[in-house]
Chains A and B, each alone.
Chain A
Amino acid sequence: MTHPNPDRNIIVETVCRVMIPFVQLFALYVIIHGAGGPGGGFQGGVVLGSSFILYIVAYDLKGGKGRLPESSRTYFSALGLYIYAGIGLLAMIFSRGAAQFLNYGFIPFTSHFTENRALGMDFVEIGIGITVMAVTASIFFDLAEKDEEPDTDPKG
C-alpha cells in the first residue's frame, strides 16, 4: 500500500494529529476569554490560523485545502469585519438616532448598560478572531500554493 506522499514523516504526522485539536481548543479559549484574561481576538485568531498552517506543514497542501477551502477562507476574512462593523451598526440603530457607532451599551443583550458593553466586546473579539484566522491561513495557503503548482498557463 503506497501513500500519495512518499516523503511523509510518521512522527511529525502523529504529533500533529494529537496537537492540532488542542491548539484549536486553546485558540477558542483565548478568544472567548479575551475579556476576562490575557488574550483576545488577535492572539486567538493567529493561534487558530497557525493550527491550519501546522496541518499543511505536517501533511500536505491538498488535505489543508479540503479542511479550509479557498472560498471559506475568503468569506471568513470578510465575515469577521462584517461582524465587527455590524455590531457597531446595531449600536447605532438601537441608540435611536444618537449615532453611537460602536457604543455597545445600547444593544439590548441584557438589561444593564455595562453588561451590554462587556458582551458587545466579546462579539467584537470573535469577529476579530475570525478575520485574523482567515487572513493568516489565507496568506500561507497562497504562498505555499504557488510553490507547489508549476505554472501550466503559457501566458503566465
Chain B
Amino acid sequence: MTRLSFFSILLTAVLGVLFIYVAEDIPALGDPDSPPIKYTFLFSVDADGAEKELDQGVLPSRVRETLQKRRFPPSSRIERIPNTKGEWVGYIEKEEPRYPKEEKYYHLRLEGKKLTVFRYAFVVRWIEKGLEETAVPNMVTYGLADYRGYDTLGETTVIFTAGVSVILLLRRRGRLS
C-alpha cells in the first residue's frame, strides 16, 4: 500500500465519520421548530431557582459564567416567551461589535431540572432581519448576493474558469496550439 492510498483511505474514513456525525442532527423534514432551523444547542446547566431569576430579567450566574468561559457575549435583557412553559429569549447589547442593534441571541428553555441554552441560528436572523437590512423583498436574492456575496463571487469565478478551460482546449488556432 503506497503512502498516497493510505492517506486517501484515511481521508475517506474521516469524511464518512464526519458526515454520519452531522447527519445525526438532521431533523424530520418540514419541522419549523427543529434545532438546526430555529436554534443551535450551546449547553445546559442545573436549573434550581433559575426560573425566578429569569422571570425577573436576570441571567443566572451559572449561565453567565459558562457564557463568559466560552466567550459568548453576555445577555443584556431577558424576556419570557408568552404561552410557553419555561422558555425565554435573551437579547444582547447594542455595543457588541458585530451586532450594532440589540437583537435576539439566546433561547433559554427549561427541560425538567435542566436549563438549556440555545443560540438563535443565523437562519432566524436571515428571515427576521433580511428585509429591513437590505430593502430587498426576495429572501433568495439577498441571501445569494448580499449575505453570501463571497460565495456567489466564487461561483461566478468557477463558471468563468469553465469557459476559459473550454477556450484553451478547443480554440486550436493561435499561440497555444
> A residues bordering B, Cβ < 8 Å?
34-38, 40, 42, 70, 74, 77-78, 80-81, 84-85, 88, 102, 104, 112, 114-115, 117-118, 120-121, 124-125, 127-128, 131-132, 134-135, 138-139, 142-143, 145-146, 151, 153, 155-156
Q: Which chain A positions have C-beta within 8 A of B177?
A: 153, 155-156
Is the beta-carbon distance between B142 and A84 smaller than 8 angstroms?
no
Contact-residue size bin, chain B (C-beta under 8 Å from the other chain)? 20 to 34
Stretch at the interface among B75-83, B84-92, B120-128, B160-168: B160-168
Q: Which chain B positions have C-beta within 8 A of A42?
A: 155
Name B's interface SS. Answer: helix
Question: CB < 8 Å: which of A37, A117, A124 contacts B135?
Answer: A117
What 10 pairs between A and B have smallest CB-CB spacing? A135-B163, A114-B135, A102-B149, A142-B170, A121-B145, A118-B135, A117-B134, A139-B166, A35-B136, A118-B136
Shortest Cβ distance from B161 into A: residue: A135
Name A's interface SS. Answer: helix
User: Contacts A104-B146, A114-B134, A125-B145; is A135 near B170 (CB within 8 Å)?
Assistant: no
Question: CB < 8 Å: which of A102, A112, A132, A146 contacts B153?
Answer: A102
